[in-house]
Amino acid sequence: MLHLTRRNGLLILFAVTANAVMFSLIPVALPSYLEMLSFPYATSSPSRNAKTEAQLLADECRRFNSNVGRYPTDLTELIVKPKKIEASIWRGPYLDYNVVPFDPWGNRYQLITQRENVFVISAGEDGVLGSRDDIRSK
């Protein structure tokens, strides 16, 4: 017959807790792992890709603003230095690409500045700004 001592009880409790933590992390880690392996069924949706890229562009517009003192008037200013801005304050290019990227549906991202904030918007799958499927950065 097996005698349960205090030490054995703590070991069992530790094992159960460790397994619970490990198995609760699987749903978080598995999609990233599968995407890393490039399984086609684990890739992100086009709307998720558009949201991520719109947010990246908006973040770079904010960085442009912190360097230059204004938001870009066009997303191309993140890549090519505007003529009216001194080279010493423009710390670009702010993107790793040579052209402004298109959204997953082949549309241009739109830049909207409102007072002290900037938003980058994708027209979504239907390609029409102002419709329900528009994707906007934070």
CA distance 109 to 94: 16
User: What pLDDT sits at residue 91?
Assistant: 85
> pLDDT tens digit string along 81-96?
888 888 788 887 888 8
What is the chain's mean pLDDT, rounded? 81
Q: Does domain 46-136 have CATH number 3.30.700.10?
A: yes
Residue 18's pLDDT band, with cuts at 50, 70 and 90, is confident
Residue spans of the domains in the chain: they are 6-42, 46-136
Cis bond upstream, residue 93 (ω within 30) = yes
> Each residue of 41-79: pLDDT tens digit?
445 688 888 898 999 999 999 998 889 888 998 888 888
pTM for this predicted structure: 0.64
Query: What is the DSSP code string of 20-34?
Result: HHHHHHHHHHHHHHH
Query: With contact defined as beta carbons under 8 Å apart, do 112 and 118 qualify?
Result: yes
CA dist 31 and 41 (Å) reads 10
In a 10 Å sphere around its CB, with 0-12 CB exposed, 13-18 middle and 19+ buried, how is residue 105 labelled? middle
